Amino acid sequence: MANLLGTTLGRYRLEELLGRGGMAQVFKAWDPNTQRYVAVKVLHQHLAEDPGFRERFSREGALIASLNHPNIVAIYDFDQVETETGTIHYMVMPLIEGPTLKERIEAYNMRQECMPLHEVVRIIEGIASALDYAHAKDMLHRDIKPGNILFDERDTPMLADFGLARLTFGARLTQSGVASGTPAYMAPEQGLGEPGDRRSDIYSLGIILHELLTGRLPFSADSHLGLIMKHVNEPIPPLRDSVPELPAAVEAVVYRATAKDPDSRYWSAAEMAAELRSAAEGHLVSKQTMSISQQQRVADHSRRRSLVAFAVVSVAAFVVFSVAVLRATIGAASPATPTVPAVSAMTGGAVPFSTDFNDDDEYSVGWPIREEGVFTSRIQDGRYILRSQAAGQAHTAIFSPEYYQYSSLIIETRATLSTDSQPDSGFGIVFRYVDEDRYYVFAINGRQEVSIWLRQNGEWHELRDGADEWTIDEAVAPPGEPNLLSVIADGDHITGFVNGTRVVDVTDDSIEEGAVGLYIATTVRPVAEVLTEVTFDNFTITNAVPSMSG
């Protein structure tokens, strides 16, 4: 997006950049009509590439602006303007200069204190009231987090960005470049690519409640994808292990709000807030507390029962794989272009494959090594390096295709495109590789673009409905900076993440199983001496389910 500081949108002059997020930039702006400062939220221009966005902006913008509640940040105005670089969509809100809830939590943590229980109850009641009001109007938030909760001059908690997810996702809620929530607060069903409902918002509020009571989040992980899977599979740890004085009834409210099964959560935010106040005031007896905790355990068991066989087979597969993996060192090279799939539910299981490409790593020997010709691949200093000097070609480096025939799995790798490479060089993850003409590719390039492809019958098929072959996405880091690529493939549902942001969510069942690997590609018009050179720091497969033929 062009530098907008000092420009005027409508009647609003943008004077200061206040913040930047995955959906928008926020500016402090002067409104000459009312003689006051306001906040102007300018949506990222790539969101408007969706053909239906303009109509949706008018429809949903009016609905968002109709929300009138003391705990919801109001929308004064919304409009769009045409510029030389395209259409700019913006919303105008009151300028709230108080702290966010995130900043308030950080302040308590700096003092090594927990927020007083009465203060926690007051904040949750305010946000719950906002949710109940909006839910009654069939409006969901879908990205509730402390950074979206502000405090005005009267210290009233106010929920911001209401309806923005609905506006940017559209009817399918799977637009490229937008994640349906923040992984640390995301309900399990959202993490699995489902749109969710009012109970998804309640789950996020339950995670915030946990953080307010303990000073920390219930889950942590090395990657955003790992964090999502913890929300899907792992129970909330006991709060009273870290805060012994916390009433058991209050702890039980957190458990119920964050049940894995939405049917076991509170039906309304008002019900959650009322039970929290009763628990804080000591009106809930231990018998009631136990029954709620039992509901959480039953809900977790219900969500997992269909996945028990999945985990058992995964562990068994790991044993077989450990023996077989060292028996093959097979690679492949073929023409190609980028392509990516979508995602679905999985269970925890063994980690059947993980390499950091070091000399003492037994799994590094499974990768093809070539030191000659226009395409080379080598392991050096704990990195796997792929390089191509051939214009208009794609190459795949496949790990042990004879033994790695998996249908459902999670793949992660960290990759860096060299600054010497041509800017439109593509690179990414290959999965369900059958042969040189049948596989999927999830890829990004040096122009900070993303795509997902199916290679089949001598042709490339971009899998995102209505999307261009490549789409700019701010989640992608530029050349010289590492990008964490993640793919979840489960049945016909495939999801791709870049640096923790979900950028691809598609459905395709053209290929049901196959091997895994890495991918690089060049264009037909080389503009750099080194066409493509990409370093991969690691490669990890988790939650794999072997195919019946594997």
CB environment 279-312: b (16+ within 10 A), e (fewer): bbeeebeeebbeebbebbeebbeebbeebeebbe
Residue identified by tokens 């969101």 is: 47
Query: Tokens for 477?
Result: 């880091």
Contact 519, 329 (CB under 8 A): no
The span from the CA of 550 to the CA of 145, in Å, is 42
Which of 31, 50, 132, 143 is an active site residue?
143
Which helix (DSSP H) or strand (DSSP E) does residue 24 occupy? Answer: strand 24-31
* Nearest to 40, CA basis, from 65, 69, 75, 66: 75
Distance CA 384, CA 207 (A): 39
Q: Are 256 and 264 in contact (CB under 8 A)?
A: yes
Type of residue found at 505: D
CA angle 469, 472, 474 (to 5 degrees): 150
SS3 88: strand
Place of tokens 């995602």: 343
Q: What is the 3-state secondary structure (H, E, C) of 513-528?
A: CEEEEEEEECCCCCCC
SS3 (DSSP) at 186: coil
Buried b (16+ CB within 10 A) or exposed e, 486-514: bbbbbeebbbbbbbbbbbbbbbbeebebb
Count, residues in the chain: 550
Catalytic annotation present for 143: yes
Which positions are catalytic? 143
